[in-house]
Amino acid sequence: MFFKKNKFQTLIFLLTFFIIPQVSLAYSDKIIASGETVGIKLNTDGILIVGSYEINGHNSLVEAGLKNGDVISKINNNEVHTVEEMVNIITDCNCNNLKISYIRDDKTSKTTLPLYEDKGVLKTGLYVKDSVSGVGTLTFIDPETKYFGVLGHEIADATTGEIIDIESGTIFDSKITGITRSSEGNPGEKNALLYSDKVEGDVFENTNKGIFGEYTSEIDTSKLYKVANIDDIEIGDATILTVLDGVEVGEFSIKITSINETKDKLKNIQFEITDETLLDKTNGIVQGMSGSPIIQNDYIVGAVTHVVVNDPHRGYGILITNMLEEAEN
């Protein structure tokens, strides 16, 4: 009797084992390659310290042992997420110092931040912010999952160079109003109007491979591009999709000069701009072009991420598969 029962259980186990599906990536074989310029707003996970100033010879940042790039998470044992919350606590506390919890290198510490009076007002002597905004290019939308990717690289704090930890964010409509041309040693930029009330998607991640989230607006699936693996990409002619004026996406020629599966999965594609119209307008790659999809043979192969500062006609891109894999994490 025992043998029969054990045999039955073994059969069930074996059947269960063999019907477990193999783990596979969930992104689609064909996706939307956008090239649209979008505004980006990221809300920091806490209040980010970006600088300090002296009040009557005192520097509260130094006295409290804080540094630029530290993130304030609690004040007087109250969780804080916005600068407005910080101001309200200072206004209502009737105190000369604040008990601060802050995060540095993923470790939470505590300190006391002195307040000093300046023209009858108590001040911290800190420059802080709770959000960052910018302009970039929407690389892809997966029509099945609605996941999107922007930039192909992180948004980092200008003071510390560290990736900004975020709580939430949005992408929204933007319109290019002009171009500041690149020159040797000085990358140009897209100048844009931002329409933060016209939200296109919610951001959930800021990583070194891009800004990722869920697209919430309507999508156009009339033109889909096959997702290229590294073996599908060739040295030679390709194009990028980007906006140079208004909201119209244009297609411009480039030449891929090398392809590498780097250990950090960044700067996989080297290329140079060959399109005369683009060069006349921008003199190469400009800020705001990050995320522009790279297209070859009806594949989306990657996205523009970096410019060679001393030669703005040349730049780097990330493989599209590296962005798609990151979007799923």
Neighbour-count burial for 38-74, b at 16+ CB within 10 Å, e otherwise: bbbbbbbbbbbbbebeebeeeebbeebebebbbbbbb
pLDDT tens for the chain, 329 residues long, are 333 344 434 333 333 333 334 434 568 899 999 999 999 999 988 899 988 999 989 999 999 999 988 999 999 999 998 999 999 998 888 888 999 999 988 899 999 999 998 888 889 999 998 888 889 999 999 999 999 999 999 998 776 777 888 889 999 999 999 999 999 999 999 999 999 999 999 999 999 999 999 999 999 999 999 999 999 999 999 999 999 999 999 999 999 999 998 888 999 999 999 999 999 999 999 999 999 999 999 999 999 999 998 999 999 999 999 999 999 87
d(CA 207, CA 132): 15
Predicted TM-score (pTM) of the model is 0.83
In Å, how far are 49, 250, 260, 269 from 257, measured between CA atoms? 41, 22, 10, 8
Active site residues: 153, 275, 290
Question: Is the Cβ–Cβ distance between 64 and 112 less than 8 Å?
Answer: yes
d(CA 310, CA 273): 14
